[in-house]
């Protein structure tokens, strides 16, 4: 266990250092690629018969694989677009500049947006868990249909919550200085990945697939939770710094 923790911390630090060193496009592509691997993993998993002895991770409920494979294709398309996407040189934000190609003078507001985005991002995961895994008393009192609706509401609130949190982080990434206009545009994704926040959609899908109530596991709902990688990919794509001009 200690070795695994050390490896996870080491990978986190290396990822953050790569962002700060200017390898944002490569690291972002690898992080989105992890979402592709998760989609393929769950898609192949649901191709196996329920309770199959051929896989250690076999689920106990039948399901469909195509939502996961569709998500994998969407993420692959985003990776391709990521490497073709060329942001323009950042300029200070004023009335005549385009907000997409401008940075804002760094202030404490960007730090507040960063802190608020991270807190709300984590809240967007922990709040739906209360809907996905009710207490034994609440589970006995509710019907199967009611429980299914609660699971759906939890997944939708999760997607909307992390999307709003990622927008706050994107706004925080627009802070910069004349000497370093990409200051927050590299620092925010670095912190985002150091704490493995990019893997939260995979965690949500894992919790749903391996629910203690297999009859409530909707493969499409689990795939919808995993689709949280789409706003994560959007965030990573929009925070790719502009290429540095030759010295």
What are 181-228's pLDDT values in tens digits? 888 888 899 889 888 889 999 999 888 887 656 555 566 788 899 999
C-alpha 239 chain-centroid distance: 14
**Burial of 93 per CB tally in 10 Å (0-12, 13-18, 19+):** middle
Q: Check residue 171 and give its pLDDT.
A: 92
What are 3-39's pLDDT values in tens digits? 667 777 777 777 877 888 778 888 899 999 999 999 9
Q: Check residue 246 and give its pLDDT.
A: 47
Q: Are 235 and 166 in contact (CB under 8 A)?
A: yes
Predicted TM-score of the model (pTM): 0.85
Residue written as tokens 């894992």? 206
Q: Compute the distance between CA of residue 183 and CA of residue 21 in angstroms, rounded to an integer.
A: 12
| Number of residues in the chain | 247
Q: In sequence order, what are the beta bridge partners of 229?
A: none
Give residue limits of the domains in the chain.
Answer: 2-238
């Amino acid at each position: 266990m200690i070795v695994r923790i050390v490896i996870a911390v080491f990978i986190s630090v290396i990822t953050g250092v790569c962002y700060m060193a200017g390898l944002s496009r490569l690291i972002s592509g690898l992080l989105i690629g992890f979402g592709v691997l998760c989609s393929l993993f769950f898609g192949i998993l649901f191709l196996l018969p329920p309770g199959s002895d051929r896989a250690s991770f076999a689920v106990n409920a039948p399901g469909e694989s195509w939502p996961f494979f569709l998500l994998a294709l969407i993420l692959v398309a985003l990776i391709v677009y990521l490497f073709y996407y060329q942001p323009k040189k950042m300029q200070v934000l004023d009335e005549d500049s385009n907000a997409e190609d401008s940075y804002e003078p760094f202030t404490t507001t960007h730090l507040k947006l960063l802190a608020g985005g991270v807190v709300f991002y984590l809240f967007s995961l922990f709040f739906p868990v209360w809907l996905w895994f009710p207490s034994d008393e609440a589970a006995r009192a509710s019907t199967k249909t009611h429980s299914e609706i609660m699971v759906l509401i939890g997944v939708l609130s999760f997607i909307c919550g992390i999307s709003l949190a990622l927008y706050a982080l994107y706004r925080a990434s627009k802070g910069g200085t004349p000497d370093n206009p990409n200051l927050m545009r590299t620092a925010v994704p670095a912190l985002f990945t150091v704490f493995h926040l990019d893997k939260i959609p995979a965690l949500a899908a894992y919790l749903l697939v391996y629910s203690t109530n297999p009859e409530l596991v909707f493969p499409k709902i689990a795939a919808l939770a995993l689709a949280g990688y789409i706003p994560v990919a959007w965030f990573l794509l929009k925070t790719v710094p502009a290429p540095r001009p030759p010295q």
